[in-house]
Structure 1
């Protein structure tokens, strides 16, 4: 096996090992020796790739961000209108969160340790993502409604309101799933989307704070 390929594999193994250890023990209690042993690599190999635990933590963050970018790019390429595309994005996101320890650990990192994936950063990120698609592609009919509705959806005229509502749903499910992963099941997501016809018809713009207005507490 070429040396460069081995080095890439070793680095990936260490990032995965760190993520698994962070999930089990938390970042403060995770030791570098334990991480290297879990990866079946020497301490010297660990320090060849990462100079400190802070450096390794940022690598977990960066790997999680790369996966998140990949999922978001799939959303941007989707030909579906906003509500359908966000439903599909949410199903894919939570499937990857459950199966990918690095993504799951990255989403749990504290902002002061590794900024970029905290809940408020995600709110801003996804609101901008959803708003862009709402403006360029339209919101579409509510998901899970067969053909029962006719005419434009009430939120078609207000992309900002729709993007705010959908951002709140995705961020809320992410938070709830941290305590009970059944919230991340595809059935739970699609079931919730089936409620959107009723919810969207009642919610006004003033009811949903824009991400920048959400208090930090």
Structure 2
């Protein structure tokens, strides 16, 4: 009897000895979208009624866990590649158990799809920003190109989203580059209607060139972030604009970003502090 107790069995009056099972951790249950143990006594009486408080907490925690898993997956995919990335590494990076991961995502393919979908939403926010003031369509393309390269450099989700498109093993939807290409074509067509493009310019060919260059920057930027820098993007547009823009439009379009980059802002703060 003493031996059985020493290895984790407990004795209850009138019953055989049975294994002692610890109660599930409440945080782990919520991460998986399950109900935590019902509060009792003073905890039940404090604050909002448990019937209203528990579903709200459960949904918020489950949503945070899902977001953490998507970001962790993006970071691991970007660092190790889709094939080498393991679900154990992703769950560890997110700070959750493998059980919580599998509650939200069936497999690694589902995680890759979620990363790309989130990256598509980020790119849509970039391209959906309304142009300021009298910004012409061509300047909008220039500005969005700078913004996208900064996000690829700074945001693992966008970076991984583009990289997954190039990895046949992930079998993701690969709509990210298509979204970018379609938006470039649409805005260039608007620039052409505004009279902002040179007369002999083919919107289809120019859109293909811009997409090829930006995807090239993204691929080269995996090993050398200089390819994603403001200097590189500005250099491309400095060469491109004189051939692309109508003469009067050229005088209004800047090859540099319309808004200062985060690096420029940080440098300015450091200079001011020094």
**Normalized against structure 2, the TM-score is what?**
0.59
Cα gap change, 1:30 to 1:173, in 2 (>3 Å): closer
Q: Spell out, residue by residue over 1:60-101, the C-alpha distance to the aligned partner (whole angstroms, 9 max, x if none).
A: 121111112211212xx3263333111111111011111111
- 1:95 has 2:95 as partner: no
Match of 2:131 in 1: 78
Contact kept, 8 Å, 2:217 with 2:227, in 1: the verdict is yes
Q: How does 1:1-217 map to 2 (within 5 A)?
A: 2-74=57-129, 77-78=130-131, 80-109=135-164, 110-111=167-168, 113-117=170-174, 122=177, 124-138=178-192, 154-155=198-199, 158-200=202-244
- In structure 2, list runs of 5 or more residues that go unmatched: 1-55, 246-274
Cα gap change, 1:45 to 1:91, in 2 (>3 Å): same
**What SS is found at the alignment partner of 2:128?**
helix
Offset at residue 168 of structure 1 (A): 3.4
Contact kept, 8 Å, 1:81 with 1:139, in 2: the verdict is no
For 1:129 and 1:114, locate their aligned partners in 2 and report how far apart those are by CA, in whole Å.
Answer: 23
For 1:177 and 1:87, locate their aligned partners in 2 and report how far apart those are by CA, in whole Å.
Answer: 19
Cα gap change, 1:29 to 1:173, in 2 (>3 Å): closer
Contact kept, 8 Å, 1:81 with 1:134, in 2: the verdict is no
Contact kept, 8 Å, 2:73 with 2:111, in 1: the verdict is yes
**What SS is found at the alignment partner of 1:115?**
coil
Contact kept, 8 Å, 1:139 with 1:156, in 2: the verdict is no
For 1:167 and 1:139, locate their aligned partners in 2 and report how far apart those are by CA, in whole Å.
Answer: 21
Offset at residue 198 of structure 1 (A): 4.7
**Normalized against structure 1, the TM-score is what?**
0.72
- Count how many residue pairs are aligned between Structure 1 and Structure 2: 186
Contact kept, 8 Å, 2:138 with 2:191, in 1: the verdict is no
CA RMSD of aligned residues (A): 2.8
Kindly name which structure, 1 or 2, has the bigger radius of gyration based on alpha carbons.
2
Cα gap change, 1:87 to 1:67, in 2 (>3 Å): same
For 1:139 and 1:189, locate their aligned partners in 2 and report how far apart those are by CA, in whole Å.
Answer: 25
- Structure with the larger helix share: 1
For 2:117 and 2:159, locate their aligned partners in 1 and report how far apart those are by CA, in whole Å.
Answer: 12
- In structure 1, list runs of 5 or more residues that go unmatched: 142-151, 202-217
